[in-house]
Structure 1
Amino acid sequence: MEEKKIYGYVRCSSADQNEDRQMIALHEAAVPEKNIFMDKQSGKDFDRPNYKKLVQELKAGDLLYILSIDRLGRNYEEIQNQWRILTKEIGIDICVLDMPLLDTRNGKDLMGTFIADLVLQILSFVAQSERESIKKRQAEGIAAAKARGVKFGRPEKEAPDDFGRIVKAWEQKKLSFADVLEKCNMSEATFYRRLREYRLLRNK
């Protein structure tokens, strides 16, 4: 009979860069280091190559540890779908460490299964609602900050002190455009923006 294996899965997003909490929880659950699969993703991207590798490796009877239910998906439908694939189609057990009720090793009878399914539905709904609420608050915060004149993104690069001399040398064809950009340490778009500002002030 093939030995049942213990696995762990860690997922970090751009909003949750630190995987330490998840790794510590898996180590405390005695998951072998070689059996921990981790994905780091950013923004809207939800491509999870290591999760796909993990699913390929899982066999019926294996045990998968995750810290929280939202590691399985980014919305209600996806969490439900992954849970079904893992527990029903592949036939593994899942233990959600921050929610002891979601441990499929317990309560294999009808009532236990019903309670686990109910808790799963509630938690996956809460996870999605929380994510949507965070996004909404972020969008509202950004909008309010912009209304106050707060600028986002990289700060604008200031013109060097000798910008006028550089421009004059360029206008007299003593400097190439590439040399101008190098001396100013600017992109082409920023240079032309600063040039317009400079000429406006010069012509006043």
Structure 2
Amino acid sequence: MGNQYAYIRVSSKEQNEERQRAAMLEYGVPAKNIILDKQSGKDFERQGYKRLMKKLKRGDILIIKSIDRLGRNYHEILEQWRILTKEKEAAIVVLDMPLLDTRQNRDLTGVLIADIVLQLLSYVAETERKFIRQRQAEGIAAARARGANLGRRPKDRPPEFAAVKAAWENGEISARSAARRLKINHMTFKRWASNC
């Protein structure tokens, strides 16, 4: 038997991965073999996942908590599953779905059932990703309709802005010099100057 690796993923730096990590440690995965990504599951361009792919060898076992932790793109999940099981010849265990344990039920019926379940769960994961994006867009639209400011708070202009702007308009200093005096980016200075 090869090495055991666990892959855990959360969608953002604010989310907590401890529930997944605890499940992997309880399953018996060595802490040094737990690989984490704090990134969206929309594709597989993730540093941790790429590192995992370099480590996985024939006979190794990859453990994930649920299929949506692997990813949320239907076609890419199916492709990665094929690469992992057929090209790398690693086994996959999905803790929340015992039917997706490639170490078991290797007969034709078992493989068929696992393939159907994988396709269904991959579809659900991608559909959920689409719903998340739709809910985000609706939330942003509702916030804007209420007059909420969704960006960073605009930087206040320093008291000396008017004098520096006048010097710039008179050609006494460049926009970059004006920006340096105000301790701001020169593009910010130009934007402020054009909005006055």
Would you say same fold, with TM above 0.5? yes
Comparing 78-87 with 89-98, which one deviates more in the overlay? 89-98
* Distance in 2 separating the partners of 1:173 and 1:90: 66
Contact 1:6-1:31 at 8 Å conserved across structures = yes
Deviation readout 1:119-146 (Å, 9 max, x if unpaired) = 1111110000000111111122223333
- Going from structure 1 to structure 2, the CA distance change for 1:81 and 1:34 (only over 3 Å counts) comes to same
Worse-superposed segment, 144-153 or 23-32: 144-153
1:138-157 residue CA offsets vs partner (Å, 9 max, x unmatched): 12222333344333322111
Give the greater-gyration-radius structure (CA).
1
Equivalent of residue 4 in structure 1, options 2, 6, 10 = 2
CA distance in 2, matches of 1:103, 1:16: 30
Report the Cα distance in structure 2 between the residues aligned to 1:113 and 1:120, rounded to whole angstroms: 10
Residue 37 (str. 1) matches residue 35 (str. 2): yes
Instruction: Provide the secondary structure at the position in 1 that maps to 2:98.
Output: coil
Contact 2:71-2:125 within 8 A present in 1 as well: no
State how far apart, in whole Å, the 1-side matches of 2:71 and 2:129 are: 11
Counterparts of 2:87 and 2:162, CA distance in 1: 71
3-state secondary structure, aligned to 1:82: helix
Quote how far apart the aligned CAs of 1:162 are: 4.4
1:9, 1:36 within 8 Å by CA — same for their partners in 2? yes
User: Which one of the candidate residues 115, 123, 135 is aligned to 1:137?
Assistant: 135
Change (3 A) 1:184 1:137: same
* Percent identical: 54
2:26 to 17, 25, 28: 28
Contact 1:4 1:63 survives alignment (8 Å): yes
- Cα distance, 1:168 vs. partner? 5.1
2:20 is paired with a residue of what secondary structure? helix
Moved more, 59-68 or 178-187: 178-187
- Corresponding residue for residue 118 of structure 1: 116
How far is 1:167 from its partner? 4.3
Contact map agreement 2:180 2:186 (CA 8 A) in 1 = no
Residue type of the alignment partner of 1:64: L
Cα separation, partners in 2 of 1:85 and 1:172, compared to 1, 3 Å: closer
**Distance between the aligned counterparts of 2:42 and 2:108, measured in 1?**
38
Instruction: Name whichever of 170-179 and 132-141 sits farther off.
Output: 170-179
Are 1:157 and 1:186, in contact at CA under 8 Å, matched by a contact in 2? no
Counterparts of 1:83 and 1:44, CA distance in 2? 15
Matches within 5 A, 1:1-204: 3-14=1-12, 17-41=15-39, 46-167=44-165, 178=176, 180-196=178-194, 198=196
Q: Is the 8 A contact 2:58 2:90 kept in 1?
A: yes
Q: What is the number of equivalent residue pairs in this alignment?
A: 196
Tell me the residue number matched to 1:202. none
Provide the C-alpha distance between the structure 2 equivalents of 1:177 and 1:43, rounded to a whole number of angstroms. 43
Distance 2:192 2:9 in 1: 43
The 10-residue stretch of structure 1 (137-146 or 12-21) with the greater mean CA deviation from structure 2: 12-21
Q: 1:195 to 1:52 in 2, by over 3 A?
A: closer
Partner Cα separation in structure 2 for residue 62 and residue 43 of structure 1? 23
Contact 1:64/1:92, CA 8 A, preserved across alignment: yes
